[in-house]
């Protein structure tokens, strides 16, 4: 369990995260959404101990990430958006670096690479950006860590790799893992991420499961406008609109529409989801 308590972080005198509190539970795949520059990557780098919180605390099973204790580091993996083109063949890179993670398995690495239709004998610095990303994703998953932080993992992946990624993320992670995926590519991951966190400048606008969201909001794909709509977007052949689910009916979540609804109605949404 990760407990983020009232943390602050700024770059020089530019505040980035202010008084952010969040709990991240076991066995869940969190989708971390937010506009450019709200601090998604910063939050991930704080969680994995690359950066230090300026006030407040982060508690990961009793560890404070920035202490960088070996047992803590061995229990987590952070995959940045941009990954380095190591001067080595994929398999030998994995064998060498995998030693730092007790859960790492080279067989698993090779198996995931196969899912991505990748050649493990290829040199990483001779790979395309997408191939390199797939190699790193394979490595991250093969480490079988309790905590996995993925920053824009589907960026640069070609069309077939996106489905392969979805498959891999569920076949090769531990059942008790906490996975946090930051992304703008909501269509790629729409059916994968649950709960959903929406981060805003200095605020967490939403941290709720898909079930909770669809209990509170109704996603209407019809042709008649509802006066209670919090958000409406014209689609070919109708609308997508989001309004409070007064009738208690079930609908299919649309994360893009959810994001825009939350952004247009910050205070309303916070009130709807407040647990107090």
Partner 1 sequence: MEFDSNRPIYLQIADVICNRILQGELKAEDRIPSVREYGAEIGVNPNTVARTYETLTDKGVIYNKRGIGFFVTEKAAQNIRKEAKEKFLKEDLPNFANKARLLDIDKEEIIRLLF
Minimum distance from residue 191 beta carbon to partner 1 (Å): 5
Q: Tokens at residue 148, please?
A: 């996995």
User: Which span (13-21, 198-206, 208-216, 268-276) binds partner 1, by CB under 8 A?
Assistant: 208-216
Letters for 147-186 (x = contact with partner 1 by CB under 8 A, - = none) are ----------------x--xx--xx---x-----------
Does residue 191 interact with partner 1 by CB under 8 A? yes
How far apart CA 238 and CA 73 sit, in angstroms, is 50
Minimum distance from residue 201 beta carbon to partner 1 (Å): 28
For residues 73-109, one letter each, b for 16 or more C-beta atoms within 10 angstroms of the residue's C-beta and e for the rest, the string is: bbbbbbbbeebeebeebbbebbeeebeebeebeeebb
Closest CA to 65 of 49, 46, 51, 45: 49
Coil/strand/helix, residue 166: helix
Q: Binder to partner 1 among 158, 160, 250, 271 (CB under 8 A)?
A: 250
**Angle, in degrees to the nearest 10, between helices 129-142 and 159-171:** 10
Q: Binder to partner 1 among 131, 214, 241, 245 (CB under 8 A)?
A: 214
- CB count within 10 Å of CB 271 equals 10
Task: Report the residue number, 135 or 254, with the smaller CB distance to partner 1.
Answer: 254
How far apart CA 211 and CA 200 sit, in angstroms, is 22
List the alpha helices (DSSP H) in 155-238.
159-171, 186-189, 210-216
Task: Report the residue number, 17 or 253, with the smaller CB distance to partner 1.
Answer: 253
The set of residues, in sequence order, having a beta carbon less than 8 Å from that of 100 and lying 6+ positions away, is 73, 74
Task: Report the residue number, 73 or 193, with the smaller CB distance to partner 1.
Answer: 193
User: Which span (73-81, 98-106, 124-132, 188-196) binds partner 1, by CB under 8 A?
Assistant: 188-196
Minimum distance from residue 166 beta carbon to partner 1 (Å): 4
Task: Report the residue number, 152 or 190, with the smaller CB distance to partner 1.
Answer: 190
Q: Binder to partner 1 among 21, 87, 251, 268 (CB under 8 A)?
A: 251
Minimum distance from residue 252 beta carbon to partner 1 (Å): 5
User: Which span (79-87, 132-140, 142-150, 248-256) binds partner 1, by CB under 8 A?
Assistant: 248-256
Q: Binder to partner 1 among 55, 84, 125, 211 (CB under 8 A)?
A: 211
Q: Binder to partner 1 among 24, 161, 180, 194 (CB under 8 A)?
A: 194
How far apart CA 68 and CA 73 sit, in angstroms, is 6
Letters for 3-32 (x = contact with partner 1 by CB under 8 A, - = none) are -------------------------xx---
Q: Tokens at residue 56, please?
A: 């407040």
How far apart CA 53 and CA 17 sit, in angstroms, is 9
Please report, in angstroms and rounded to a whole number, the separation of the first and last CA atoms in the chain: 22
Residues of this chain that bind partner 1 (CB under 8 A): 28-29, 163, 166-167, 170-171, 175, 191-194, 209-211, 214, 219, 221, 250-254
């Amino acid at each position: 369990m990760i407990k983020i308590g009232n943390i602050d972080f700024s770059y020089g005198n530019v505040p980035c995260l202010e008084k952010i509190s969040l709990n991240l539970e076991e066995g869940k795949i969190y989708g971390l959404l937010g506009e450019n520059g709200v601090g998604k990557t910063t939050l991930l780098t704080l969680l994995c101990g690359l950066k230090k919180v300026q006030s407040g605390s982060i508690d990961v099973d009793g560890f404070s990430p920035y202490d960088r204790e070996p047992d803590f580091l061995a229990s987590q993996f952070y995959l940045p958006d941009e990954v380095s083109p190591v001067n080595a063949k994929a398999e030998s890179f994995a064998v060498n670096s995998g030693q730092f993670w007790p859960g790492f398995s080279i067989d698993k690495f090779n198996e995931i690479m196969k899912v991505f239709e990748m050649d493990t004998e290829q040199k990483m610095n001779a790979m395309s950006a997408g191939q390199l990303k797939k190699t790193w994703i394979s490595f991250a998953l093969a480490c079988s860590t309790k905590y996995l932080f993925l920053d824009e993992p589907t960026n640069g992946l070609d069309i077939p790799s996106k489905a392969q990624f979805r498959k891999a993320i569920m076949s090769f992670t531990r059942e008790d893992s906490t996975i946090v995926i930051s992304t703008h590519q909501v269509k790629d991951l729409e059916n994968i991420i649950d709960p959903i966190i929406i981060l805003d400048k200095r605020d967490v606008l939403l941290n709720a499961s898909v079930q909770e969201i669809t209990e509170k909001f109704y996603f209407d794909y019809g042709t008649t406008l509802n006066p209670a709509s919090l958000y409406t977007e014209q689609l070919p052949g109708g609308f997508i609109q989001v309004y409070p689910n007064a009738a208690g009916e079930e609908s299919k979540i649309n994360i893009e529409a959810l994001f825009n609804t939350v952004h247009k109605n910050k205070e309303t949404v916070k009130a709807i989801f407040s647990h107090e």
